[in-house]
């Protein structure tokens, strides 16, 4: 029963952003910036331990799914919370950033834009 209350709190928390009930600065800066950095470190630790125990393929799929679920949630949340501000210009700007992010994601996943990570790593060493 206690576990159910905890899950309900998490669900209500996530839905409050998804439904646009939170302030834009919370959605954009806290969940879209600070939490995203923490989430990235969590995924890197997950990848590290996955490689250690030999589950590279399944860990990569898990990371792909988790990161895409988060990305969809945060982009929808920022879009829906965009006009929970005094100055509507911030709402327009945040929605423009969401649109640019979606375009970038589409270009990356289709292969139109790609990154040569190996050369970047070699040049910096």
Q: Give the model's pLDDT for residue 120.
A: 60
Which residues touch 21 (CB under 8 Å, ≥6 apart)?
Answer: 81, 84
Confidence at residue 123, expressed as pLDDT on a 0 to 100 scale:
63
Q: What is the pLDDT of residue 121?
A: 59
Mean pLDDT by 10 residues, the chain (125 residues): 81 96 96 96 92 88 95 97 96 97 93 75 60
> How many helices and strands, by DSSP H and E, does the chain display?
6, 0
The HSE-up count of residue 41 (CA atoms within 13 Å, CB side) is 5
Neighbouring CB atoms inside 10 A of 121's CB total 9
pLDDT of residue 116: 73
């Amino acid at each position: 029963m206690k576990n159910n209350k905890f899950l309900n709190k998490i669900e209500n928390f996530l839905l409050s952003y998804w439904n646009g009930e939170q302030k834009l600065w919370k959605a954009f800066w806290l969940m879209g910036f600070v939490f995203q950095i923490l989430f990235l470190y969590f995924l890197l630790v997950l990848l590290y331990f996955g490689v250690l125990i030999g589950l590279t393929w399944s860990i990569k799929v898990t990371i792909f799914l988790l990161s895409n679920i988060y990305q969809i949630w945060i982009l929808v949340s920022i879009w829906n919370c965009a006009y929970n501000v005094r100055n509507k210009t911030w709402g327009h700007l945040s929605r423009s950033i969401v649109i640019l992010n979606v375009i970038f994601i589409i270009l990356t996943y289709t292969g139109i834009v790609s990154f040569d990570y190996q050369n970047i790593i070699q040049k910096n060493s």
